[in-house]
Structure 1
């Protein structure tokens, strides 16, 4: 049995990066011979087997043929006569089309090692154009490795968008790739590559609409809203923020693309205008509820967070209630992290002070420290309880503000 490690495991080992998972290809075998060797079948679309001891997946070498649109529009042929080179030829990028045998010898028929050294993402063959998910993968790899996209590959990706092939992307795959890209070291690179080939306008038109939208130069020296959001994303990555925070950062200014021209570039009211595009986008790509909900409260409340020093005690309590912070302080903290990234995701403001985050976290703790149970027992009727509890929380917030004054935002 000829067995090879293929794809990402070879790529990452050559780059000196940790190898998390290994994909195996078996050459010269059939489904019957794999079963006879003790492997257990698990593949639905093509023959994949679990190793009897390690439980790792082993796939028979195969070729594929395009028969329909989209990710599922392929038929596969796996047989003992399919060569390793034929199997590698169906892969997306040269850096993913390498194999390594048990002795550590690398088979590299398409120059993957050369492209690794040059930091280039290059398609293996014109078969790349048959699968629109590959556009998303190229953009994600650009975010992970900081590699450039070969001019001929970018041109091919543009033609896929123009031909409508990219319109066949299914929502689950868009979310899967976007979520992975958001968690890379430089997530902005994914969206920049998608925008360059035209795919961002097809997959995430709400985000694409932010580019070219001007902002106040005194507060946003970078001026362009799309540029700002990309900077916020990369700051989230630098602080190792979890996925919901990064997604909220991506979504927080969507309302700026809908601001009437008569209030540009101040974007008065953009917070509320962001709700509809966030809901639409999340429904379309089926983003998980935790990401959607954090994005919504961040879009709605981020400017109030920035202006925390100006808020009266009763307004602070309303903010906490609108964000469900009294019940879910951990989510409120994630929103504060997104707001910190928003403040520092501006040209020349990357290291600015942002005391609002810690101040609001402490203010929330003061409000939550109010003993609602004791207040309820002291009330004459149940109807009096909500007002009494609110009054105690407002008093606690007033005391906190007085003891811990916060300077207004410059």
Structure 2
């Protein structure tokens, strides 16, 4: 099969160019493959470079690369030689076929063949956008599968029927769709649905890794969720699936059902905030916070009287969302650090909706900041803004003003990044002759609650408060 060839220049690192030259001197034909080619075409600086070497056996590849740095056949079972040089790691692989021998992500046998054709070699790859080859000697991208056109048209499409052999590719489709704003091809979606039963063979840690990439690397979080829905695999995440078709009152939610609202909120997070400018570790809790903020509606939504008329209402859904978010994260054994942040964000995302006419007091906002930990009031603002702006075309001027006022208040109270540090400490109790023991925590907890309530603002006032309340506290 004759490929499409497009002139294109990828600036390869000098050590990699030296390695390619050494292999070509020995008679090898080298092609840079995979994500680095895709990223370069998208204007993203490539980070990880993988090379496929045709015409040389593994031992000859290792021998040619040995003078350039440390080499290792740690990937021998996968026909890979690793090279470490100038602080970077490069993989050099022999073309191979993969045959399905069992269930799951790892049920394969590898058949390396240095003399496979390029067309045969790319058949094992997942998506056409990842099946592009780069010929550095001619400065050309080589495309056997239509990846260039798919990349241009925003389509995520499988390379061959071999796609079905690795069920993890369905979740990779989710995160690729989000990262590169792609729509899942109809035929690829059908293959995904066909292998749905294989979901249960995947290691939970691998499932989490794909979700983490979606939450931290996406350019369009909603694209990823649409791919998950179209693939049919949203059914394996029942907390999300329950939002589909879940009615909302059009008076407050003209955009449609709860799932549609969630997708609009994910769009708003990217469009209306500086989310894309944050680090990847900062992005993930916010993405999940927005994704999970209304999970509880599936438990609370009912048709009932409100202000004398029948409406769809979901009272208490913020509290219900907490344990459903935990259930969602537990299903893939996510790290506790991120799930704890998300749970506090979803449980408090209606904080401004319960404000009295004069607004929340300083004490109420300070207590909120403590309740949110390990998340912060700053992170809560992202979720509240996204929730508010995820109801197109409806925008409430009153809610916009409330959020702006809240941001002003948390800055004034120095609560943007954390709750107040306790002013009264154990050493203050020791100085009064109290020996460390079980009573310490009780007294310090009461003191901290008083501090949040505004009873004192500095150490001197804290000590005065302790003096005044000592007999009551030490009973």
Say whether residues 1:361 and 2:413 are aligned partners. Answer: no
Q: Does 1:246 align with 2:292?
A: no
Structure 1: runs of 5+ lacking an equivalent: 399-410
Q: How far apart are the structure 2 equivalents of 1:146 and 1:158?
A: 21
Specify every segment of 5 or more residues in structure 2 that has no aligned partner in the other structure, as ranges.
1-27, 305-310, 435-439, 458-475
Local SS of the residue matching 1:180: helix
> Are residues 16 and 298 of structure 1, via their aligned partners in 2, closer, same or farther at CA, if it must alter by over 3 Å?
closer
| Structure 1 partner of 2:472 | none
- Cα 1:80–1:370 shift into 2, 3 Å: closer
Q: Is the 8 A contact 2:204 2:331 kept in 1?
A: yes
Tell me, yes or no, if the aligned pair for 2:81 and 2:93 is still in contact at 8 Å. Answer: yes
Please name the residue that 1:189 is paired with. 223
2:372 to 318, 323, 331: 323
How has the CA–CA distance of structure 1 residues 23 and 389 changed in structure 2, closer, same or farther, with 3 Å as cutoff?
Answer: closer
SS in 2 for 1:56: strand
1:384 CA drift (Å): 6.3
Instruction: Give 1:217's match in structure 2, choosing from 250, 253, 256.
Output: 250
- How far did residue 361 of structure 1 move? 1.7
**Root-mean-square deviation (Å):** 3.1
| Maintained 8 Å contact 1:337/1:357 | no
Contact preservation (8 Å) 2:174, 2:225: yes
| CA distance 1:348–1:3, change in 2 (3 Å) | same
**1:118 — aligned with what?**
153
Change (3 A) 1:106 1:299: closer
Preserved contact between residue 101 and residue 109 of structure 2 (Cα < 8 Å): yes
Q: TM-score, normalised by structure 1?
A: 0.84
Instruction: Please list, as runs of the form range in 1=range in 2, the aligned pairs for 1:187-336 lying within 5 A after superposition.
Output: 187-202=221-236, 204-238=237-271, 239-240=274-275, 242-259=283-300, 261=302, 265-308=312-355, 310-312=359-361, 315-324=364-373, 331-336=376-381
| Gap change, CA 1:84 and 1:256, over 3 Å in 2 | same
Which residue is 2:385 aligned to?
Answer: 340
> Are the aligned partners of 2:132 and 2:143 in contact in 1 as well (CA < 8 Å)?
yes
Deviation by residue 1:128-179 (Cα, 9 ceiling, x = unmatched): 1111122222232222333333322222222223xx2334333222221122
2:53 partner SS: strand
Q: TM-score, normalized by length of structure 2?
A: 0.73
Q: Once the 2 structures are TM-superposed, how far is the Cα of residue 7 of structure 1 from its aligned partner?
A: 1.5
Distance 1:5 1:173 in 2: 26
The CA deviation string for residues 47-70 of structure 1, in whole angstroms up to 9 with x for no partner, is 222225353111121111001111
Tell whether the 8 Å contact from 2:36 to 2:49 is kept in structure 1 after alignment. Answer: yes
Say yes or no: does 1:66 pair with 2:66. no
Judged with a 3 Å threshold, the aligned counterparts in structure 2 of structure 1 residues 40 and 268 are, in CA distance, closer, same or farther, namely same
TM-fit CA distance, 1:15: 3.3
Offset of 1:254 from its aligned partner?
1.0
Query: How far apart, CA to CA, are the structure 2 residues paired with 1:390 and 1:345?
Result: 35
Contact map agreement 2:239 2:328 (CA 8 A) in 1: yes
Partner residue of 1:18? 45
Structure 1 position 30, deviation (Å): 1.9
Which segment drifts farther, 300-309 or 192-201? 300-309
Cα distance in 2 for partners of 1:114, 1:388 equals: 65
**CA distance in 1 between partners of 2:456 and 2:166 (Å):** 56
Equivalent residue, structure 2, for 1:140: 175
Q: What is the CA distance between 1:389 and its match in structure 2?
A: 4.9
1:172 and 1:91 map into 2 onto residues whose CA distance is 22
* Deviation sequence 1:299-325 (CA, Å, 0-9, x none): 21111244345545554454333224x
Which segment is superposed worse, 20-29 or 333-342? 333-342
**Counterpart of 1:185 in 2: which secondary structure?**
coil
Distance 1:301 1:80 in 2: 58
